[in-house]
Amino acid sequence: MSLIVQKFGGSSVANAERVMNVARIVTDTYKKGNSVVVVVSAQGDTTDDLIEKANEINPNASKREKDMLLAAGEQISISLLAMAIEKLGYPVVSLLGWQAGFQTSSAYTSARIKRVNTDRIMKELDKKNIVVVAGFQGINRYNDVTTLGRGGSDTSAVAIAAATNADLCQIYTDVEGVYTADPRKVKNARKLDIISYDEMLELATLGAQVLNNRSVEMAKKYNIELEVLSSMTNAPGTIVKEAVKMEKMLVSGVAKDTNVARISVIGVPDVPGLAFKLFSKLASKKINVDIILQSIGRDGTKDILFTVAKENGKEAVKLMEDFIDVVGGKEVNISENVAKISIVGAGMESHSGVATKMFEALYDAQINIQMISTSEIKISVLIDAYDADNAVSAIHSKFFDEN
Ligand code: ADP
Ligand code: ASP
Ligand code: MG
């Protein structure tokens, strides 16, 4: 007998028919003699709809109240799924995040899981119940409801798998696995049979939303093998695991991230310590900076450009305007019309020419590159948002359709 964690995303439980479909997958697993813990997200677009409802009333509502609202989405799914499982004649209990033992940091809307106290889950499994847990939520040290950030149910599932020492963690979604690019956008995207934690982590961080990046980080940390698969077909999915004896893919995928803003700080003094002081300002407000570009100094001044997540754009501009008021500088600009396109592959480390091939694909498609950044297993470029989908297709076909 095995302990299996199965997670179902929003589209997998979007309506009554889908909920019944999930109930069948879960009970089929249970019938085979397994203990099953199920993690579910809110139905369909429920979380987006709740955010809209909040904004109608108060766009500046406190994060605590936002979490109180958003957590409601998952409460609906767990109860409906439990009812569907009851209908099929199996013993089941639904649990909210706090009931399932999710203790988190106090950072409302982006809380981190500190610990999962599995006592209740284990008790219910001992009673032979199927346990259905609300993903995306927990409770902080003030006994307030928290949420884990968008896409957080994946992380809830991996956390339960780690805390209960589960034998298998399956992430069911609306595509058949992890592909070389978003299969909804790139028609020749190929399903990967297997991908390493490191590559998956990069892809997820760089915009492939099929798995939440924190869930991959946690899976790697606790060595939990993940299977990403479709709740709608029976096709085999993608295994995400440690890269032992795995063939290193030159490029395993292309990802797009449009949640990017480019900030340009123009005409600042070309003196030692300037970059340090500038980025300290951002760090002090916990604003993460991604790609950085600094021009060569000319006439005693230089320009510094960097990217941040869109939601941090305004605050970053304000900080930079205050900064140039003190140190001197010409102006601060922001562009939100940009996208970051990345390729990821563990094989890049030992192969030259990968960047050239990516740049050639962009040149062929007449797409201009604004900024570039590289690491051992990834290359990212910043381009005009208008070109984003074209760029992904052009790069994807360069690496996967030729040869
Ligand atoms: P869920 O609701 O199940 O959590 P998500 O919408 O969060 O599902 O993630 C699944 C979606 O991720 C797919 O529908 C697909 O459009 C998108 N996606 C983006 N990049 C990839 C990729 N490389 N492989 C598979 N899916 C991807
Ligand atoms: N319902 C949450 C969201 O839409 C969590 C999740 O789907 O994983 O972000
Ligand atoms: Mg998701």
The residue among 309, 375, 293, 367 whose CA lies nearest residue 342 is 375
Task: Write out the chain's pLDDT in tens, 403 residues.
Answer: 899 999 999 999 999 999 999 999 999 999 999 999 999 999 999 999 999 999 999 999 999 999 999 999 999 999 999 999 999 999 999 999 999 999 999 999 999 999 999 999 999 999 999 999 999 999 999 999 999 999 999 999 999 999 999 999 999 999 999 999 999 999 999 999 999 999 999 999 999 999 999 999 999 999 999 999 999 999 999 999 998 666 777 899 999 999 999 999 999 999 999 999 999 999 999 999 999 999 998 899 999 999 999 999 999 999 999 999 999 999 999 999 999 999 999 888 878 889 999 999 999 999 999 999 999 999 999 999 999 999 999 999 999 986 5
Q: Is the CB of 135 under 6 A from ligand 2?
A: yes
Q: Tokens at residue 194, please?
A: 């297997």
Q: How far is the CA of 285 from the centre of ligand 2 (A)?
A: 26
Q: Tokens at residue 136, please?
A: 């995306």
CB 67 within 8 A of CB 144: yes
CATH 3.30.70.260 domain range(s) in the chain: 261-335
* Distance in angstroms (rounded) separating the CA atoms of residues 191 and 90: 34
Q: Is the CB of 48 under 6 A from ligand 1?
A: no
User: How many other C-beta atoms lie within 10 A of the C-beta of residue 224?
Assistant: 25
Ligand number nearest CA of 342 is 1
Q: How far is the CA of 151 from the centre of ligand 2 (A)?
A: 4
DSSP-derived 3-state class of residue 109: coil
Q: How far is the CA of 137 from the centre of ligand 2 (A)?
A: 10
* Distance in angstroms (rounded) separating the CA atoms of residues 251 and 126: 45
Q: Is the CB of 151 under 6 A from ligand 2?
A: yes
pLDDT of residue 347: 86
pLDDT of residue 248: 72
* Distance in angstroms (rounded) separating the CA atoms of residues 152 and 138: 11
Q: How far is the CA of 229 from the centre of ligand 1 (A)?
A: 11
* Largest Cα span, the chain: 78
Element housing 28 (H / E): helix 16-31
pLDDT of residue 403: 57
DSSP-derived 3-state class of residue 166: coil
Which residue's C-alpha comes closest to atom 8 of ligand 2?
151
- Report whether CATH 3.40.50.1580 matches the domain 3-174: no
* Distance in angstroms (rounded) separating the CA atoms of residues 314 and 394: 32
CB 384 within 8 A of CB 339: yes
CATH class of 261-335: alpha beta
Phi, psi of 187 (to 5 degrees): -70, -25
- The residues facing 38 across adjacent strands are 6, 132
CA 380 from centre of chain: 17
Alpha-carbon torsion (181, 184, 190, 193), positive or negative: positive
Q: Is the CB of 153 under 6 A from ligand 2?
A: yes
Q: Tokens at residue 229, please?
A: 């698969």
CATH 3.40.1160.10 domain range(s) in the chain: 3-174
* Distance in angstroms (rounded) separating the CA atoms of residues 115 and 102: 6
Q: Is the CB of 152 under 6 A from ligand 2?
A: yes
pLDDT of residue 245: 65
pLDDT of residue 351: 82
Q: How far is the CA of 20 from the centre of ligand 3 (A)?
A: 20
Which residue's C-alpha comes closest to atom 4 of ligand 1?
9
- For 224-287, the DSSP string reads --EEEEESSS----EEEE--TTPPPPS--EEEEE---EEEEEEEEE--TTHHHHHHHHHHHTT-
Most informative mutation of 38, 39, 47 for ligand 2 (most atoms within 8 A of CB): 47
* Distance in angstroms (rounded) separating the CA atoms of residues 66 and 69: 5
- In ligand 1, the atom with minimum distance to the C-alpha of 184 is 16
pLDDT of residue 73: 98
Q: How far is the CA of 366 from the centre of ligand 2 (A)?
A: 36
Q: Is the CB of 192 under 6 A from ligand 1?
A: no
pLDDT of residue 350: 78
